Amino acid sequence: MFNGFESRRFDHRGVTLHARIGGNGPPLLLLHGHPQTHVMWHRVAEDLCARFSVVAMDLRGYGDSSRASSDATHVAYSKRVMAEDAVALMRHLGHARFAVCAHDRGARVAHRLALDHAESVERLMLLDIAPTLAMYEGTTEAFARAYWHWFTLIQPAPLPERMIEGDPVFYLRSVMGRRHAGIGAFEPQALAEYERCIALPGTAHAICEDYRASASIDLVHDRADRDAARCLDMPLRVLWGAHGTVGACFDVLGLWRACASRSSGRALDCGHYIAEEAPAELQREMRAFFD
């Protein structure tokens, strides 16, 4: 996996950020979701290198990026701070302006990045999410049952941490394997990497802090944006799985059109893990949108 890529580390405000870098052309930042790492892009990354300078980054608390210390405010794992990580890394690599494609938790970071650093984001593609605030405010029983981890991981420490740490591989396989395509959708080498990283010390707490931030400080930031009528102004392409929970429970494109001035999107014939379930279709979408 990632033939021709270089593994790089960058220190930013006491946090070490890890990324794989490869290719030539306009810069393209890739951000992963939970409970995965940058490796989730392995089925599309090499193809993208023919057209772009690809940066596949591990979010703080995930993969081989460091586990930042946190406190009761959860600010260290706010999407605002995680977006600052991404901007700092891209600027360190010489990219003042770049395109972004992001999935799941990484897409929530990308949403905040595009709001707070609009001058840095040329085009934005988000995979299988609706806006965080809209999803919490529109929670139904069906959504809560399918996305049980949204409500489990935000409970006070150390209960959810202990639950993950008791058997981190079981937790990961439960989250990923119970969705549309099952655990067989994942390349064994990629799955082994996800399992390695979720078992690293501090990962369980970092994951919980990511979700606690989304249910607290991130909502404060999102409500402030809504009150100020701030919206995304760069071209936005939204894709979601036709067999996934987000598309079943929410009007994905309608919710994004409410907070973005130039948005388009559609469902793909897959579940939540688009880059691994439907890589060829995603590659076509990315080439058409980013080229």
Position 291 pLDDT exceeds 90 = no
Which neighbouring-strand residues pair with 30?
Answer: 56, 101
Cα separation, 127 vs 183, in Å, equals: 19
Q: What is the pTM of this model?
A: 0.98
Q: Which residue reads 């979720």 in tokens? A: 198
Residues 6+ apart with CB under 8 A from 95: 27, 29, 53, 55
Position 99 pLDDT exceeds 90 = yes
Quote the percentage of the chain above a pLDDT of 70: 100
Three-state secondary-structure class, residue 250? coil
Rounded average pLDDT over 143-147:
96
Average pLDDT, the chain: 97
Position 152 pLDDT exceeds 90 = yes
Query: Is the CA virtual torsion 249, 254, 256, 258 positive or negative?
Result: negative
pLDDT digits (tens, 9 = 90+) for 56-93: 999 999 999 999 999 999 999 999 999 999 999 999 99
Residues 6+ apart with CB under 8 A from 136: 215, 219
Cα separation, 59 vs 15, in Å, equals: 10
pLDDT digits (tens, 9 = 90+) for 238-270: 999 999 999 999 999 999 999 999 999 999 999
Query: 207 with 77: CB under 8 angstroms?
Result: no
Q: Which residue reads 């429970």 in tokens? A: 249
Nearest Cα residue to 81 out of 56, 54, 117: 117
The catalytically annotated residue of 58, 104, 116, 210 is: 104
Position 158 pLDDT exceeds 90 = yes
Residues 6+ apart with CB under 8 A from 119: 97
Three-state secondary-structure class, residue 90? helix
Rounded average pLDDT over 146-155:
97
pLDDT digits (tens, 9 = 90+) for 176-198: 999 999 999 999 999 999 999 99
Q: Is 272 a catalytic residue?
A: yes
Q: Which residue has the higher pLDDT, 291 or 137?
A: 137
Cα separation, 278 vs 270, in Å, equals: 6
